[in-house]
A and B are shown apart, each in its own frame.
Chain A
Amino acid sequence: MIERADDDAFDALALEVFAHQYARNAPYRSFCDRRGLTPDRIDQWRRIPAVPTSAFKVAELTCRPGEPAALFLTSGTTQGMERRGRHPVADLALPHAAILSNAQTHLFPDLPLSEGRRMLILSLTPPPSERPRSSLIHMIDLLMRRWGTGESRFLGASDGLDGEALRQSLCRTAAGERPVALFGTTAAFARWFDECAARGWREALPPGSRVMDTGGRKGVEGLRPPALRAMDHRDTFLSSCERFLGLPSHAVVNEYGMTELGSQFYDDHFAAVTTGKNPLGVKIVPPWVRVRVIDPATGEEVPDGAPGLLCHYDLANLHSVMAVRTDDLGMKPPGVPDGLHLLGRAAGSEPRGCSLDPSTALLTPR
């Protein structure tokens, strides 16, 4: 793994990876050719052409056509019945290294892999056997195998979360004073908190317990208003974690990841507090990833502190496409080179004929 500050090393690797992908990934090569951006004409990573995530829905973006080691599919739930994106991963070694290194830093800073210490991990998601194409569940399964005790398990199922089983597990955990790591989508937690409120459940998890939530607005269908509030307002979500699980806010780590990327981004606060540092209140870009925040109208990078669309350059995507342009809105905090603020999603809906909401149009400076 390369060091964060080593831009030259990143640049060299990125250009090498780009040459590799240009040579072996035919759809990507066509994309680059149409822009006249070929390896011989590019001398730094910022100019490597980035494919929008929508390309994963219509093209097989791989350097090794044939049976991949894993094929991950996007959930396809955020915009209804649209086609699902496909990310074939030819070799899992690099993505796994990225997952483990990142998780070591941000989720398990107190459990060095070298020491072999483990903790109870409970996942609110279904198991990999039920969702073999989910990159999130694949990641959680990997984390469970590396850091989880034998009792660790998946409590979700296709028809929802086994709330009673989760509650009993948490009761035992609380009684035994062993910390627990809870993983799941933000929506699943919000739904669980809704159930806790309805049934009057609450636990005080032992110190050292933690939550990793992810997923933005995926899975919000059918959520009742209190749960939706927890989804939409981070403070409400954190309050629910404190109220129903007894967890301080620094022990709740939001992960930002996507099917199309091998790497993830985590809130910095759990690792910072655990290791006695001051949290910066940002998501951390791993050393093997770079992010450009771009103005979509021009494709140019915006200054630090200005919002734009996130464009990721992830070396863990060795055999697919390293440079991926998302419709996630974000911002680079000034003065924090490896920091990132996630601002939401540029929904990109069709303009409504004769429609823009007049009140919002007025209040939004152009």
Chain B
Amino acid sequence: MTPVHQLGALQACHLPPRLLATRPLRSVRSVRHGPVVIEMVDEEPAYYRLLADHLRAAHASIAPQLTDDHVIELLVQAARLWRDPAHPRRQLALSVLPALTGYAPAMIEEGLDHRLAQLTPERLGRLAEDAADRLADQGRWLQGPPVILLVVAGHIPGLVIDDLAAVLLARSACVIRPSARDPIIPACFVRTLAELDPRVGELLAVAWWPREAEAISAAVGGAVDGVAASGDDATIADLARQAARIIGYGHRRSVALIGAEALTDAGALAARMARDVCWYEQLGCLSPHAVYVEEGGSTTARAFAEQVAVALGDETSHWPPSTIPIEAASAILHLRAEVEFRHAGGAALFTPFGQADRLAGGAALYDPDPAPRPSPGYRTLWVKPVARLETALEALMPWRGRIESIGLALSEKRLIELQPLIDRLTPSRQTPIGTMQEPPLRWRLLDQGLLMQLAAWTETPSDARF
């Protein structure tokens, strides 16, 4: 791969070729981000209205030509190209993203490969069928509105691939506003799709503008039929003011539960837990903030916390830790100190390398108080002992509705017993510990509901089917 500092300016945009032929870009904005220079669209709000008009017209003529099978084949072909280690766009993304996100190269690569592995004919076909069945129950078709705006968060590189699958399966046209942390995969993946089928290239646009450019946000928000956005709650609230309809994936957290019976191989479980914690530095909504450990098993919760700390240390060789922003570092230091000074109450700080003041590598914060507390991130996990997991699920009730995923290490019997209490917290996903960061595509599209929501936005479902 070419070293990142030798790459030159990177174009992080895609505009429909037919639009560019009639109205070329007047200017691009170059932004330096560390060693990377990225070129982005720099146009007035009127251009974005023109873009939305173009997408709407393209949708009317092209979308009816796209069958489910064709869309699936297109996604599969694109994924096949991108899974090839020699694919130039993959190489470009993997060379640039560590500098843009701060994540370890292997972390980005494994995350990208996980997403691409979801795009198989079988998985996509079954997903489309299930979506169609669910929608049929509502009297709707698998079909989204003509034009949407997709606002992609930057913590999860390649998340846009999931979203693009939803957009294409819904056969909507789309303006994608990528994150500044990951502007490359959206532009590059869309270019791949456009090369495979130029018609699809007319339905998709990738353009970044700053959040402060409210006139552009308002122009786009007013010109599209809906907005799907991942981001912080403030971003989504801003977008909601500008768009008629919005699906917002705001700020949520994840937690994990370990039954006493699951602690027979605590070392291996701690390693899986550490992997869930380290992936994306706990910045995503699927990242666990806390693990509740039921006492009475072959390992105590406290010993498990120690093992998690060791496992966090082991991860540093595979996934070297990111640089921690000063605000987060300050919060981590204060939290660690607080735990240390509460040792009389049973709290304890466990760090991988036994150095309480060095943050790299993370920490397990052992805390007998079952009340949940957010982690400041960057590999900082609360480990909370409970006599019974029922106590944990009760203690988590203040987070009800804000829990995205629950990682589990439980026997089937315990899971059946606990399921009603888990359901009260309304997580969108429950999954074994060790797989918390690897959601299947159907979770994003069906369980989180992106695809279902796009279909629900279609104005007149019975008439609008292509």
Contact = CB atoms under 8 A, between A and B. Distances in A.
Contacts of A296: 324, 326, 329-330, 332-333, 359
Nearest to B329: A296
Contacts, number: 174
Contact of A356 (B33, B153, B331): B153
Interface string B16-51: 000000000000000111100000000000000000
A52 B358 contact: no
Interface stretch (A4-12, A28-36, A141-149, A178-186): A28-36
A208 B235 CA distance: 48
Nearest to B349: A34
Given A346-B327, A346-B330, A354-B285, A51 B337 contact: yes
Contact of A365 (B33, B179, B211, B282): B33
A53 B323 CA distance: 23
B359 A55 contact: no
A357 interface: yes
B330 A59 contact: no
B181 interface: yes
Nearest to B181: A361
B463 interface: no
Contacts of A59: 341-342
Nearest to A28: B341
Contacts of A1: none
Nearest to B35: A366
Given A54-B334, A358-B153, A352 B232 contact: yes
Interface string A314-329: 0000000000010101
Given A351-B376, A353-B285, A362 B338 contact: no
Given A297-B360, A361-B180, A353 B404 contact: yes
Contacts of A158: none
Interface in A333-355: 346-355
A355 B211 contact: no
B231 interface: yes
Contacts of A298: 358-360
Given A59-B341, A361-B179, A353 B283 contact: yes
Contacts of B180: 358-359, 361-363
B377 interface: yes
A43 B381 CA distance: 35
Contacts of B146: none
Contacts of B249: 354
Contact of A351 (B230, B283, B336, B343): B283
B154 interface: yes
B374 A358 contact: no
A297 B323 contact: yes
B447 to A, nearest CB: 15
Contact of B327 (A52, A347, A361): A347
B155 interface: yes
Interface string B348-373: 00000000111110000000000000
A165 interface: no
A213 B125 CA distance: 66
Contacts of B230: 354-355
Contact of B231 (A58, A350, A351, A354): A354
Interface residues of B, number: 67
A66 interface: no
B359 to A, nearest CB: 5
B129 to A, nearest CB: 28
A365 B35 CA distance: 9
A57 B340 CA distance: 12
A54 B329 contact: no
A362 B31 contact: yes
Interface residues of A, number: 44
B212 interface: yes
A298 B361 CA distance: 11
Contacts of B99: 366
A366 B33 contact: yes
A299 interface: yes
Contacts of A309: 326, 329-330, 333
Contacts of A53: 334
Given A296-B333, A297-B359, A361 B154 contact: yes
Given A327-B330, A353-B287, A58 B342 contact: yes
B328 interface: yes
Interface string A216-232: 00000000000000000
Nearest to B230: A354
A248 interface: no
A307 interface: yes
A309 B337 CA distance: 15
Most buried by A among B286, B333, B342, B359: B333
A132 interface: no
Interface string B48-89: 000000000000000000000000000000000000000000
Nearest to A366: B34
A354 B287 CA distance: 10
A27 interface: yes
Given A359-B210, A365-B32, A58 B338 contact: yes
A359 B359 contact: no
A308 interface: yes
B195 interface: no
A346 B180 CA distance: 22
Contacts of A365: 32-34
A355 B334 contact: no
Given A353-B283, A359-B180, A35 B334 contact: no
A359 B154 contact: no
B309 to A, nearest CB: 14
A307 B326 contact: yes
Contacts of A346: 326-327, 329-331
A348 B327 contact: yes
A365 B287 CA distance: 25
A34 B338 contact: no
Contacts of A363: 31, 180, 210
Contacts of A360: 211
Nearest to B281: A351
B356 A357 contact: no
B253 interface: yes
A357 B211 contact: yes
B284 interface: yes
Nearest to B182: A358
Contact of B329 (A31, A297, A357, A362): A297
Interface of B: 31-34, 99, 102, 153-156, 159, 177-181, 208, 210-212, 230-235, 249-253, 282-287, 323-324, 326-338, 340-343, 356-360, 374-378, 404
4 A-B pairs with the lowest CB-CB distances in the bound complex, closest first: A362-B180, A348-B331, A353-B285, A296-B329
Given A297-B359, A348-B331, A354-B251, 4 more contacts: A35-B357, A309-B330, A346-B331, A354-B155
18 contacts: A31-B340, A35-B356, A52-B337, A325-B337, A327-B334, A346-B330, A346-B331, A349-B327, A351-B283, A352-B251, A353-B253, A353-B283, A354-B230, A354-B251, A355-B230, A356-B155, A357-B232, A358-B177
